[in-house]
Amino acid sequence: MLLALVLNACNITKQLRDSQQLLYNGSTIKVEGETRNDVVNPIGDNLKQKPNKRFLGITKLKMRMYYFGSKHGESKIGVYMRDKYGELPVILDTAFVESSVKGMKGYLRSVGFYYPVINYQVKSHRQRATVQYSINTGPVYHIGSYQINCADKKLYDIIKVNEKDALIIPGNRLKQDVLLDEQKRIVTLLRNNGYYTFSAEFIGFDVDTANNNWNVNVSLNVLNKGVYELHKVHVNKNIFVNIEPNNDVNGFKNIDTVKAPSFYYVPNRYKLNFKVLEQNMFLTPGNVFKQQALTATYNRLGDLSVFRYINITPKTYVQNDTQYIDYYLRLSPNIKYDYIIEPQAIYSDQNNTFTNQSTTGNYGIAGILQFNNRNTFRNAELLKLTYRSSFEAQGKVNGSRWFNATEQSLTASLTFPRLLLFPKLDKNYRFVNTRSILTTSGIYELNTNFERRVFTTGIIYQLNKKFITFNITPFEVSYTRNAVNSDTLQSLINKDIYLFSMFSNNLILGGRFGFTYSDKAKNSSNHHVFLRWDVIEISGNTASALNKILDRPFNETNTYNIFGVNYSQFAKTALDFRYNTKHDENNTTVFRIFAGVGIPYGNSPKFLPFERRFWVGGANSLRAWLPRSLGPGGYYEVGQIDYSGDVKLEFNAEYRFNMYNRWLEGAVFVDAGNVWMAKKDDKRPLANFEFNRFANELGIGTGFGTRLNFDVILIRLDFAIPLHDPSYNVGSRWVINNFDHDWLFNNINFNFGIGYPF
């Protein structure tokens, strides 16, 4: 079929010759003058005509499918190829060329180039045309002076007091977007000072280009509401809240109305404590109108899980020469109970390391059952109960691959739409929402080698601003109890202190602080940043201090314990930074840096607990290695089981491109990284981190992948090979030098994943 399409395409231009039409083959743009990327890159967005799409290196495949289908008339295959996958040939239209020139001039004018010169030339060869644009941007205008013209002194004083926040700055390049952003800023400023009816229509700009030095004088004009009518401040008066409202606005004041301290409340038998509404509304009677108070009220009420939709209708009126606003809030309740059932298929490419049995993969099935109870205690709490059950086949045991491992977990969380014990922070405009989450979970894991029980409980505070989320866990307890049921593993544990620490019972008593930042939502450019920084996690300090104050004696291992279990003492930090560049609608580059370090000390001076160690390898890390199969550092020995570390560095770069119709994507990537121990250990040479050699101990791999993007889910298949392997001796680590057919077959690593790796 593909060969037929290629051969058939040879006749495409022949079919155009009789009509003298030219097949549009794309455009090139050459820019002279101002060549900064922020000016040049968007110019191409003004091209009004796009050439036919390409796929897998085949020029204009969709157009070829159209001709292939057309040749077969109204047959099923012809109609299917033509209408389902075909695309009409794009014929050069000079009207689009002229329109593109006009669009480019309009764009350049909007960024300060008022007199650009744009020429174009059509190059044709074998009935195919390419348009070559030549652009000379000419000189650019800069802002020479900026002044405010406002007849209303009250408005003028507000704007002048906040002039330090002005976006129009003398000396900067004249840009239309900046003028519009300044217009929005002033509208928001005045609306936050009581001027409810003020809008962008009352703000205009005069730009004087009469000077010959390419500097312009910018004047901001604030217009009155009428010729002789000034804008007036509005004051909040009454607030009416109705759950399950009727269509009659006056129906708010009926016999069912409850008078709360700052509003009238009609619950209509919905059992919600009015204090929840009081806490999440920022509209205060007697205060002047503030746009940020209205927006914050929308955000906070919308963040509550108990309402399906929120409608706020302000009504203005005049009383005793004062402008008042009444607010009518209509709230539709969400369903109280719901549940989610999610079946899962499990595939893991990690082998059974404890018995050194290689396998093509572990597989299994799992299911998740989640129950939600909204408004649990009539204060808009959300109770979630999540049960997960999985059964997995891990390697061959006695010749059988039947399910020999299971994991059962139950998690309960109770979310409060406020910060417990910190009510003042809840009334802060800077936070879009605040939450307190009480969480408890239990995990039972059983496989062919060991049995593990984990119990965790704690409290989490979340404070969300527009682009940043703070997470504070002041208190968390995690208890792990292990039992080894494999003689082989037990014999290894008896010989290896690292495995002994991994399978010892453990107690974590600590807290942590971190935040997540993303500018994707606010950044209109093609670049955005994601940053997650677990700033600090500390465990064991309070317990050690209390033990010392109480003068408790050490146990036989010269450490403290609680209920017969040694607790861990450590400090840890980890940073995940990602930079995403969208070159155009079809091509994206993503860079990622991960750096983390944990320092054990005090009651556990040699090891981080198993749950807090770092690992590399797998579908979302170094894809040329299996999960947890590299490190630490340059250390390696035959039969090694523990590949964890206290320090982790990882670098990833991935180029993503559209292959077909947005649902089939491709990628090429490079990964580099490793883990190290924080402290030197004579039994494991080269395992600790040292600045003078860590670069030579990075595992480096590369590969390519395909992704099936179905919007709701992205299925990822990545193939990778190692280039530099630190587990080899120095001088032999560039394993790519051994490249041949057999080496490739033995070293290529396949990864299956859901979603992008980062």
* β-strand partners of 509: 477
In terms of domains, do 407 and 377 share one?
A: yes
The answer to whether 667 and 718 are in contact (CB under 8 A) is yes
Please report whether residue 749 resides in a domain: no
In terms of domains, do 345 and 472 share one?
A: yes
Query: CA-CA distance, 97 to 91, in Å (whole number)?
Result: 12
Q: What angle do CA 425, 427, 428 make, to 5 degrees?
A: 70
In terms of domains, do 128 and 6 share one?
A: yes
The residue segments making up the domain with residue 97 are 2-51+90-136
In terms of domains, do 437 and 468 share one?
A: yes
In terms of domains, do 477 and 443 share one?
A: yes
In terms of domains, do 261 and 393 share one?
A: no
The H or E element that residue 490 is part of is helix 487-495
In terms of domains, do 250 and 354 share one?
A: no
Please report whether residue 264 resides in a domain: yes
**What pLDDT sits at residue 59?**
52
Please report whether residue 562 resides in a domain: no
In terms of domains, do 329 and 339 share one?
A: no
Residues of the chain with pLDDT under 70: 1-21, 53-87, 245-255, 347-362, 394-403, 521-525
Please report whether residue 357 resides in a domain: yes
Query: CA-CA distance, 186 to 178, in Å (whole number)?
Result: 12
In terms of domains, do 209 and 351 share one?
A: no
Of 101, 136, 171, the residue that ends a domain is 136
In terms of domains, do 359 and 479 share one?
A: yes
Q: Could you tell me the pTM of the whole model?
A: 0.80
Alpha-carbon distance values, 555 to 454, 561, 562 (Å)? 24, 7, 10
Please report whether residue 592 resides in a domain: no
In terms of domains, do 384 and 271 share one?
A: no
| Nearest residue to 417 (alpha-carbon basis) of 426, 406, 408, 425 | 426
Alpha-carbon distance values, 64 to 3, 242, 373, 421, 583 (Å)? 11, 61, 55, 67, 27
The H or E element that residue 207 is part of is strand 203-208
Q: Give one word for 398, left, alpha or beta, with left for phi > 0 and alpha for psi -120 to 50.
A: left
Query: CA-CA distance, 279 to 424, in Å (whole number)?
Result: 10
Of 440, 463, 487, the residue that ends a domain is 487
- pLDDT tens sequence across 706-725: 999 887 888 899 999 999 99
**Which three-class secondary structure state does DSSP give residue 514?**
strand
Please report whether residue 579 resides in a domain: no
User: Strand ranges (DSSP E) for 260-306?
Assistant: 264-266
CATH of the domain at 125: 3.10.20.310
The DSSP result for 218-252, as a single string, is: EEEEE--SSSS-----EEEEEEEEEES--S-GGGG
Please report whether residue 471 resides in a domain: yes
Of 463, 487, 511, the residue that ends a domain is 487
Structurally, how many domains does the chain consist of? 4
In terms of domains, do 323 and 397 share one?
A: no
**What pLDDT sits at residue 40?**
80
Please report whether residue 154 resides in a domain: yes
